[in-house]
Structure 1
Amino acid sequence: MQTRILVAATALILVAGPALAIEKITFPTRIGTVVFPHKKHQEALGQCRGCHEKGPGKIDGFNKVLAHGKGCKGCHEELKKGPTRCNGCHQGK
């Protein structure tokens, strides 16, 4: 019984993910606010695990180092898509 519930919940999250995704997430920084189009990324990537390794919710250890390293910037460089320069993400004050 518990296995069925777990499978059903997992299927619901996978199917409903993009429909229920947060539209945008805002990160205030000292050099300008970063507005992250979360729903757009989720729809383009088609899955959550690329960023959310432990499942839905905040990304463990997400900070400036991760964003500028293997996280945001690294992904943009690898996919050759999206901003990689400061002003591409940070909107001036």
Structure 2
Amino acid sequence: MQWRDCAAAAAALLIAGAGVAGAIETITYPNRIGQVNFPHKLHQEALGQCRGCHEKGPGKIDGFDKVLAHGKGCKGCHETMKRGPTLCKGCHKGG
């Protein structure tokens, strides 16, 4: 095994092992009808895994935008799980 392979394996273990302890607490999305404060760590604790949202691994969600959030993403998951807000004012504060 080459050094690069070892480094990549160690990084993957570190990321996987970080789990909830390494989770960002809250992510804020500003927009015209009122910012959305997404409780990231709370969601990670409730779901127990990352791949449900981060299909390609840790980091930003590919293609995350208003359409995804209001479709199969945030709102769709809340409807499926029968938990969490589904109305505008449930996520958008102020504005």
Is TM-score (shorter-chain normalized) higher than 0.5? yes
- 1:42 aligned residue: 44
Q: Which moved more, 1:9-18 or 1:52-61?
A: 9-18
Deviation at 1:13, TM superposition (A): 2.2
Gaps of 5+ in 2: none
Q: SS of the counterpart of 1:41?
A: helix
- 2:16 aligned residue: 14
Q: Equivalents in 1 of 2:14, 2:47: separation in Å?
A: 18
| 1:62 equivalent in alignment to 2:64 | yes
Deviation at 1:12, TM superposition (A): 2.9
Q: Equivalents in 1 of 2:58, 2:50: separation in Å?
A: 7
| 1:79 equivalent in alignment to 2:81 | yes
Between the two proteins, the alignment pairs up a number of residues equal to: 93
- Tell which structure's C-alpha radius of gyration is larger: 2
Gaps of 5+ in 1: none
What is the RMSD computed on CA atoms of the aligned residues? 1.4
Q: Taking every aligned residue pair, what percent have the same amino acid on both sides? A: 73
